[in-house]
Chain A
Amino acid sequence: MSDDEPVRDAGFDDWLDALGDGDPYFLECEHGHGSLPPRRVCPEPGCDSTDLEKRSLPETGRIESVTVVSVATPAFEADAPFALAVADFGPVSLTGQVRGIESEDAEIGTTVSLELATPGSETVDRAVAFRPR
C-alpha cells in the first residue's frame, strides 16, 4: 500500500459502494433486528446474535427529524446551508443531507429515497444523502 493512497474503512466503504451501485443493505440477525456495518454482534440489548446477514434496505424512508445546517464542519462548508436529516427506513435509520429540494422545505414526515452524494468538499468524496420521493 502506498502512503498517499487513502485507506478504506472496511464494511463502511463497502456499504457506500453498494449504495452507489443502487443496492444498499442492512444487516439482520435471526431475530429480525437491523443494524449497519461494520458490525459483528447484534446491538439489540439482550439479543447476543452474531449471525448477521445482508438484506436489501427498503427503498423509501421517512424523515424523523431535520435541521438546516449553516455552520458546517470544514468538509461540508461548501454545501452550507444544507438540510441534514435522520430518516427511518424500517430496520435501520440513517443520517444524510436532503438533496433536490430547497433545504427549508425538508420536513418531518417527508418520504425520501437514498442516494450517494458528492459533497463539495476535499476530504469527503461521497456521503449518504436523501431525495424526496
Chain B
Amino acid sequence: MSEVRVAGVGLTPFGNSPERTGRDLFAEATIAAFEDASVPREDIEEVLYGNFMGEIAEHQGHQGPLMADAAGVDAPATRYEAACASSATAVRDAVARIRSGQADVLLVGGAERMSNLGTGGATEALAIAADDLWEVRAGMTFPAAYALMAEAYFETYGGDSEDLAHVAVKNHANAVENDYAQYQREITVEDVLEAPRVATPLGLYDSCPISDGASALVLVSESYADRKGLDASVAITGSGQGGDRMALQDRETMARTPAASEASEKAYDDAGIGPEEVGVAEVHDCFTIAEVLAIEAIGLASEGEGIAAAREGRTTVEGEVPVNLSGGLKAKGHPVGATGVSQLAELTKLLRGDHPHGDRVEDADVGVAHNAGGTVASAVVHVLEVVA
C-alpha cells in the first residue's frame, strides 16, 4: 500500500467576496497549492473537487471539469457533495486511489461561493442539507438544528451558553494571526452572550459566518515524492467516514454525534494510533456546540466533558490538545465545500511548522481533522502525521 503524502497546500483568504466566481476562487487556491508542492500541473492524473451549493449560488452543475479547467489542469474531474463535508469525502477517495496504486498525483480541493446569496438566501441554501420534507418544511434551519442539539446536550450533560461562548472566544483568538481567516479579531465572552440570538441558545457569535473561499491539496504517492525529491514530510495516514439517519428527529439522541465517533474510530484504526497520540486538531465548529460534540466524538474529551474544555483551557493554544488553531469555521470562515480540505491544509502547515501557530505545537507529530455534513449525518475524519 502506497503512503499518501501532502505535497502542497493552498487556500484563498476566506471572507466576503460576493462578486468572485467559484472558478476564480478555486484557481487561486490551486495556484498556491502548486507553488507549495513544486509539482507540475501536467502530472495531475485526476481532480477531486468538493462543492455543496453550486447549483443554487451560481446556477452551475457539473463543476468538476469547470474547476479542472480553472486550475489549468487537463485531467478527468469529479465533484463530490456531502453538504459541509464535501471536500473531505473527495480527500477520502483520493487517499484510496493513491494507496491502491491507481494514481500517483491528484489535485483535491473545494470551493464555495455563498455571500452573493445574502443572509436569507444562504440560510435557505444551507437548509437543504437537512431533510426537506420532514425538517425544512417544518421550519428547520441549519442554526436551529444545532440549537436543538445544544439544548439536548444541556439537558443530558449540563452546561450553558457561557460555556459555549468560550469556544467562540478561543477560536477568534486563534484566528488573529491567520491571514486566511475571515475574522482576525478577538471577542469576549460578553460579546458572545450579548449578541442577537439566531436560534436559542445560539447567537450570532456562536455561529460561523457566511463565507466565500477555496482550498486545494496536491496529494502524491510516497514513491512519486521520493522520485521527484519533493519536500513532503506530512502523510495522510488515516481516513474514516461515518453516517447517521438524515433527520435529527430520527436519531436516538441529539446530544451526541455517533457518525463522527464511527469516522474517528475508523481513521484511528487506519492510522494505527489512538486519540491520546493526537497533538493538534481541527474540528468542524460550524456552531460553538458543534466543537463540543466533535471533541467528544473523536475522543479528545470524554462524554459530557467537552462542554467545559474551552473554558478550562484544555483546547486553547496553551492547552493539552489545541483545537482549531486556524480559528476554526467560527473565525476562519466556512465556505462549506472548501472547509474539509482547508482543515487539512491548516493541519499540514501546523505539523510542518510554517503556520503562525506552528511554534506552539512544535512537539506535535499527529494531527486530526473532523469534518461534518449537515447535522453530522455525514462525518469524515483524517489523521495526518509527520513521517519524514
Contact = CB atoms under 8 A, between A and B. Distances in A.
B32 interface: no
Given A95-B135, A108-B155, A71 B198 contact: yes
Contacts of B149: 65
Given A95-B248, A95-B249, A84 B197 contact: no
A104 B121 CA distance: 26
Interface in B111-128: 119-121, 123-124, 127
A18 to B, nearest CB: 14
Nearest to A79: B139
A93 B200 CA distance: 21
B148 A108 contact: no
Nearest to A45: B245
A96 interface: yes
Nearest to B248: A86
Contact of B151 (A73, A95, A104, A108): A108
B152 A64 contact: yes
A57 interface: no
A71 B137 contact: no
Nearest to B249: A93
Contact of A36 (B134, B151, B196): B134
A64 B140 CA distance: 15
Contacts of B254: 64-65, 86
Interface string B128-147: 00000111111111011001
A9 B150 CA distance: 32
A28 B149 CA distance: 27
A127 B133 CA distance: 10
Contacts of A20: none
A112 interface: no
Nearest to B119: A71
B332 to A, nearest CB: 22
Interface in A77-133: 77, 79, 82, 84-86, 92-97, 104, 108, 119, 124, 127-129
B341 interface: no
B57 interface: no
Interface string B157-201: 000000000000000000000000000000000000000111111
B318 interface: no
Interface size class of A (residues with CB under 8 A): 35 or more
A70 B199 contact: yes
B19 interface: no
A128 B127 contact: no
Contacts of A119: 139
Given A65-B152, A67-B199, A77 B120 contact: yes
B134 A84 contact: no
A11 to B, nearest CB: 9
Contacts of B123: 71-73
Contacts of B139: 69, 72-73, 76, 79, 82, 84, 95-97, 119, 127
B286 to A, nearest CB: 14
A66 B151 contact: yes
A38 to B, nearest CB: 8
A43 interface: yes
A50 B135 CA distance: 24
B247 A95 contact: yes
B137 A127 contact: yes
A71 B148 contact: no
A71 B133 contact: no
Contacts of A129: 138
A74 interface: yes
A85 B123 CA distance: 19
Given A9-B133, A79-B139, A67 B249 contact: no
B210 to A, nearest CB: 11
Contacts of A69: 139, 141, 143-144, 147, 198-199
A119 B137 CA distance: 10
Nearest to B147: A67
Nearest to B121: A74
Nearest to B136: A73
A36 B198 CA distance: 29
15 contacts: A69-B139, A69-B198, A70-B196, A70-B199, A71-B119, A72-B139, A73-B120, A73-B123, A73-B124, A82-B139, A84-B139, A84-B140, A92-B250, A108-B151, A124-B137
Interface of B: 119-121, 123-124, 127, 133-141, 143-144, 147-152, 155, 196-202, 245, 247-250, 254
Interface of A: 9, 12, 36, 43, 64-77, 79, 82, 84-86, 92-97, 104, 108, 119, 124, 127-129
* Closest 8 A/B residue pairs (Cβ): A67-B147, A93-B249, A65-B148, A65-B152, A68-B200, A95-B138, A67-B199, A65-B151
